[in-house]
Structure 1
Amino acid sequence: MPMSDDFKKRLSPLLPDIVNTFGTPFHIYDEAGIKNTCDTLNTAFKAIPGFKEYFAVKALPNPTVMALVREKGFGFDCSSVPELVLARQVGARAEEIMFTSNNTSEGQFRAAMDQGGAILNLDDISLISKLPQTPDLICFRYNPGPSRTGNAIIGNPVEAKYGVSSGQIRGAYEQALKLGVKRFGIHTMLASNELNYAYMVETADMLLETVEKLHADLGIQFEFINIGGGLGIPYTPEAKAFDLGAMARGITRSFEKFKNRNGWVPRLYMESGRYITGPHGVLVTTVINHKNIYRDYVGVDASMSALMRPGMYDAYHHIHIHGKESGPINGKVDVVGALCENNDKFAVQRDLPRTERGDILVIHDTGAHGHAMGFNYNGQLRPKELLLRKDSSVDLIRRAETAADYFATLDFEPKSMKP
């Protein structure tokens, strides 16, 4: 179900005061829900020694939230230099960080290997030559191609830009061995927002089979497999929650069988983002206009710049109107922002109760890839972020952007070139 009942029960009585104090629009995250999900994930895989979750910073790059997950023993999966900076600002170092980038420059690799380094997860065999120095530990992102299917968000593995192909994977590790690399891992990421737990078990099995073969061929004893993220959340009311317990039991059995066959076993790493924070965030916005032409439109003070997923992926995000959760359905409406794009819609032909100007709309499941995917087209400014603490206090954890922020890059020293 979208937005947990516990989050809703604790947020609802506070919401009018939060709106009066901070103003809309804003994303607000649930500390209790995030911590509980972290605990659930750690408990599910406790039978696999050395299990570690590397929180995908791209999902919610806010240092206050990152500090919460680090308290639970999580590392960080980073894909850019600013994400590395954020991870290090909350205290992560060395192998607490996995740098999984693609189309990577030498400068980015230098940044990743600075300040104690990080686990380098190379997306292509050609990147070996771009490394400024030989790391002690190296990992390759594996793309199995036509032997597996992906999904709509990441795409068919054959068409996806990510990873080392099945025909290249052995050669990649051979090259690393020749460079003098001593320690190894392997990674893959084939699907996003996947609700079928069996798919994730199959992904672990695929990597275990791959490392078993590479061990036989090259003598490499892999330290870990990283099955990526991709654990889904039920955005629609009728969708079933991801069965984490079944996934954990299946992968644990696979690890036990591997150890029985080989006498050794790698650690299990994951890099979930959406599963950790997605259901524990909502976008709160106020109704400011109504328009009735060929359709009925409810205009709010947030725009697609605060939540891109509906416009980019045609994604469903559940919506409720504060104080009218059990009210009669008035009819179908489009819930829209002010952007000069027709896909600036949070809901299309959605059955909702009648709204009045000033009503508070709560858009569910924005705790991942919500604020993080924000943008400034049309001069739109990204909203603030808040954190609902376990004691029901509310903290501002990122201020809203201002016009000064938008114009800051126009303040520069003149520079030109003449032929």
Structure 2
Amino acid sequence: MPMSASFKDRLFPRIPAIQQQFQTPFHIYDEAGIRETGATLIKAFSGIPGFREFFAVKALPNREILKLMKEMGFGFDCSSIPELIQARELGAKPEDIMFTSNNTSQEEFEFAAKDGGCILNLDDISLIDKVPVFPELICFRYNPGPRRTGNVIIGNPEEAKYGVSHEQVVEAYRRAQARGAKRFGLHTMVASNELDYTYIVETARMVLEVAEEVEAALGIQFEFVNIGGGFGIPYRPEQKALDLPTMSKEITAIFDGFRARHGHAPAMYMESGRFMTGPHGALVATAINSKDTYRKYIGLDACMSSLMRPALYGSYHHIDVLGKEGVEASEVYDVVGSLCENNDKFAIQRELPPIEDGDLVVIHDSGAHGHAMGFQYNGRLRPKELMLRADGRVELIRRAETVEDYFATYNFEPSVLKP
């Protein structure tokens, strides 16, 4: 199942009381599940010296979630100034932060260099001359282009806007050396929500082969390679989970082989977001309307400003109707929100138990790229976020947006450019 049995068993009996205190809609996250996944990841790659996870902040940029990541010893993969601010406010040191941006502005470069800087991960060879103060430690994002078949979700690498091409990669490090770089990392990101572990194994093999090529050409030694994120989660009940034990065993063997050939091996970093938090979150909403026209519709008090993945990607999110988990799925519904957009749907032609106004609907796997991708179109506001703590407490960790928030950007000093 998409949501773990443990999370479901601890959450579902509490939902009526949670609804009474906090009101729907809300996202709720499972501290125990997140910590368990983090511990599993650390154990899986313990055979690679220097292994480290840099949590992809964009997946779930909530301060309390980021605190959990820091407590587990993880770094942060950031791609904007607000994400850098959050990481630094939590006490992240320069080498706890990977700044992986694209089409980076001078303002962003300057901010990234503050407070001792960060691990700067450049997306393009043209950016080398645009970095105001070039750091001693530099990383480049590698795009293999036609050398690699694209992951179904992220697309073919040669069509992606990200990264330095294979033909540019040696020259990129040569130019970085000319600007004073003395320490080096290498990064790639060629998969998203990948459940075939062999694809990620081959990604690790690929990035080490590129490291070998650059080291041979320039005589440098990489401190780390970052295989990116892309570890998938089973959104559908019938899908099998990623085979992490086999994957980690095979990747560890590849690093061991590199070490045997060269007498050294880089550390391995990764930047999993979805894998860390995706299954450990749910969006809970109330059914407030039903409509029977050409289709049967169930309207919720949440809309795609709370979870836009189904509208954006056609993504499947499993749905439970609280108290009706054992009831026959005898109805076929489109489960929808209230936006003036016809793609404002959480599910299309989904077989579900009969739903009545007032029923509580649980939408699984909202723990990554859920609340974070919210927006304010149509004046619809983003919901609150809650945490189910390991000790059973339920805590508000971000309030819902308000109408005052929506109008706050009208509070400014007048500014006019005269003719």
Matches within 5 A, 1:139-178: 139-178=139-178
TM-superposition CA deviations, 1:74-125 (whole Å, max 9, x none)? 0000000000001111111100000000000111011111012100000000
Tell me the distance in 1 between the aligned counterparts of 2:215 and 2:396: 50
The one-letter code of the counterpart of 1:409 is T
User: What is the CA-CA distance between 1:185 and the residue it aligns to?
Assistant: 0.3
SS at match of 1:348: strand
**Cα separation, 1, equivalents of 2:104 and 2:260:** 39
How far apart are residue 246 of structure 1 and its match?
1.1
- Aligned residue in 2 for 1:344: 344
Aligned partners of 1:118, 1:160: CA distance in 2, in Å?
Answer: 25
Alignment partners' CA distance in 1, 2:228 and 2:375: 26
Q: Report 1:249-260 matches (<5 A).
A: 249-260=249-260
Structure 2 residue runs without a partner (length 5+): none
CA distance in 2, matches of 1:134, 1:287: 54
Partner of 1:10: 10
Within-5 A mapping of 1:40-59: 40-59=40-59
Q: Secondary structure at the match of 1:168?
A: helix
Q: Which letter does structure 2 place at the counterpart of 1:216?
A: A
Map of 1:189 onto structure 2: 189
For 2:146 and 2:290, how far apart are their aligned partners in 1?
49
Is 1:379–1:406's contact at 8 Å kept on the other side of the alignment?
yes
State the one-letter code of the partner of 2:270: M
Q: Once the two structures are aligned, what percentage of the paired residues are identical?
A: 64
In 2: Cα distance, 1:275 partner to 1:62 partner: 16
Task: Give the Cα separation in 2 of the matches to 1:182 and 1:329.
Answer: 62
Matched with 1:382 is: 382
Structure 1 CA distance for aligned equivalents of residues 318 and 4 of structure 2: 12
The whole-number CA distance in structure 2 between the counterparts of 1:399 and 1:115 is 30
Q: For residue 215 of structure 1, give the secondary structure of its aligned residue in structure 2.
A: helix
What does the per-residue CA deviation read over 1:278-319, in whole Å, with 9 as the maximum and x for residues that have no partner?
000000000000000000000000000000100000000000
TM-score by length of 1: 0.99
Per-residue deviation, 1:251: 0.6
- Look up the match of 1:363: 363
Mapped to 1, the partners of 2:319 and 2:157 lie a distance apart of: 33
- Per the TM alignment, residue 151 of structure 1 is displaced from its structure 2 partner at its CA by 2.6
The whole-number CA distance in structure 2 between the counterparts of 1:401 and 1:42 is 36
CA drift of 1:153 comes to 3.0
Shift of 1:418: 2.0
**TM superposition shift of 1:330:** 2.3
Corresponding residue of 2:322: 322
* 1:416 equivalenced with 2:405 (yes/no): no
| Residue 6 of structure 1, CA deviation | 0.1
1:20 matched to 2:4? The reply is: no
TM-score by length of 2: 0.99
Q: Check the 8 A contact 1:389/1:395 in 2, yes or no.
A: yes
1:149/1:190 contact within 8 Å kept: no
Gaps of 5+ in 1: none
- 2:160 and 2:212 map into 1 onto residues whose CA distance is 25
In 2, Cα distance between equivalents of 1:404 and 1:93: 35
Distance in 2 of aligned mates of 1:77 and 1:257: 28
Aligned to 1:391: 391
- Separation in 2, partners of 1:248, 1:153: 22
Equivalents in 1 of 2:359, 2:392: separation in Å? 22
Q: In structure 1, give the amino acid aligned to 2:41.
A: L
**Pair 1:261 & 2:296 matched:** no
The number of equivalent residue pairs is 419
